[in-house]
Amino acid sequence: MDFSRLNIKDLLEGYVARHFSVKEVVEWYLSRIKKTDDKVHSYLTVTAVEAIQRAEELDYQLKSGAKLTPLFGVPVSIKDVIITKGIKTTAASKVLEDYLPPYQATVVEKLVSAGAIILGKTNCDEFAMGASNEKSGFGPTRNPWNLDYVPGGSSGGSAAAVASGQCALSLGSDTAGSIRQPAAFCGIVGLKPTYGRVSRYGLIAMTSSLDHIGPMTRTVDDAAAVLQVIAGPDKHDATSVNYPLSDLSSEMKKSIKGLRVGVPKEFFGDGLNKKVAQSVRQAIDVLTSLGVQVQSVSLPTVKYAVPTYYVLAPAEISANMARFDGLRYGQSQVADDLFSKYIKTRGDFLGAEVKRRIILGTYVLSAGYYEAYYKQAVKVGQQIKKEFTQVFKEVDALAAPTSPTTAFAFGSRNQDPLAMYLEDVYTVPANIAGLPAISLPCGLIDGLPVGWQLIGRHWQESIILSLAKAYEQAVPWQANFPKLD
């Protein structure tokens, strides 16, 4: 049996009916990784021994009459910027090449408590800084739909692992689109919750005010099931919020007829591939056919979202990366004095993109430039939030492309950082505003998946999930799989 065709509900029902054991499922996934990951390179670490041991424990519990937990026996992967106790966590950087964390991220604790089985840690752009997964310190991940193309970034390893059937689901992180854009490129579902909905404790911080953790899955139901598990306040994360999450499975059964969806005209301008635009428009037309009221809306300031992000984010990066100095974490170089040690360690073990963002962030925070750049970017960010608030008085959700293009060829944008940064043009506004957003597939162009996204009001994940579920039922795209064999 090809277990990658089964969603969470299918797996749980199969366990109860004794159609297969947890160990059988885990061994199948580990075999799949061994068979395909030399092509895709989704994983940096595979925890085969631990996964099989955990599977045997769960099988014993099942035979003893234990009640199934929400993710009982579900094989998962974790993006390698999320801390896992006793499992190597590198952030895809040479500076953390052999780092074994002494504690567990809250989201990982919740997954494990819900019965999930960790298969390993997935590749990403170094410290989550990138949009293609070409910036990993341990080599790139490849798109399972076409190995000559990127999987997107920075959660490219997670997206590729789910798309290629190497895990049932994965956890990624999204700072400017790093869950949604690779989900779009790899033809899967990627959900970024409201900022504060999910604890960031144990996430290696890139940009603390913009980082989100969320699920990457094959179906909308699975994304909702994972969110139900990982959501909630955390005493270890002061930015997490105690805002109740409704029973998503019940909410998603409600009719979407009469819901109002806005289409921001700014998301369909210059730079959007015509075929991508056509696919997204067709997806929106499906919502119309299901009784959704679709209307055009305007968000004039979102055109400044990318430059705003690339002032705000590097400023926080320059502060967050200061801890990687060769003294407290990871590898270090020998030098005659402390300053030389800093220079040599960071110079030798950090990649070019990480250095670029540290330098840019230090610059915009320096004397004489803070007022001109950082303070102005904060004001623009506040205006973007206000415009979203105003628009959501008229509509219940927004529909837009996830990325202006499908996946691009390896190396095609490496000489132009600005072209790479523009990959975030449609995803970063939701991060600046802290809004929930979900990307889901809506077709193929030249054999590569196209993604579109739904953006919701704060704390209203149930609405975008309901719309996404209705679309998925009308257009069951998840039946498509890349051919790696």
Phi-psi region of 50 (alpha: psi -120 to 50; beta: other; left: phi over 0): alpha
Residue with tokens 């399972």: 144
Q: CB 50: neighbour CB atoms within 10 A?
A: 15
Q: Which one-letter DSSP state was computed for residue 404?
A: S
Cβ neighbours of residue 8 under 8 Å, at least 6 residues apart? 70, 71, 74, 168, 169, 221, 222, 225
Among the listed residues 466, 435, 401, the one whose alpha carbon sits nearest the alpha carbon of residue 258? 466
Taking a C-beta distance cutoff of 8 angstroms, is the pair 345, 325 a contact? yes
Cβ neighbours of residue 34 under 8 Å, at least 6 residues apart? none
Task: Give the residue numbers annotated as catalytic, written as ranges.
Answer: 79, 154, 178
Q: Could you tell me which residues are beta bridge partners of residue 174?
A: 212
Write the single-letter amino acid at 164.
Answer: S
CA gyration radius, the chain: 21
End-to-end Cα, the chain, rounded Å: 15
The token pair that represents 471 in the structure block: 């679309």
Q: CB 485: neighbour CB atoms within 10 A?
A: 7
Among the listed residues 80, 76, 4, the one whose alpha carbon sits nearest the alpha carbon of residue 229? 76
Q: How far apart are CA 325 and CA 311, in angstroms?
A: 23
- Indicate the pairing of strand 260-264 with strand 293-297: parallel
Measured in degrees and rounded to the nearest 5, phi and psi for residue 85 equal: -60, 125
The token pair that represents 140 in the structure block: 């790139």
Handedness of CA 132, 203, 231, 456 (dihedral sign): negative
Measured in degrees and rounded to the nearest 5, phi and psi for residue 483 equal: -100, 105
Among the listed residues 184, 454, 417, the one whose alpha carbon sits nearest the alpha carbon of residue 292? 454
- Three-state DSSP class for 94? helix
Q: Could you tell me which residues are beta bridge partners of residue 122?
A: 43, 79
Would you list the DSSP string of 423-464?
GGTTTHHHHHHT--EEEEEEEEETTEEEEEEEEE-TT-HHHH
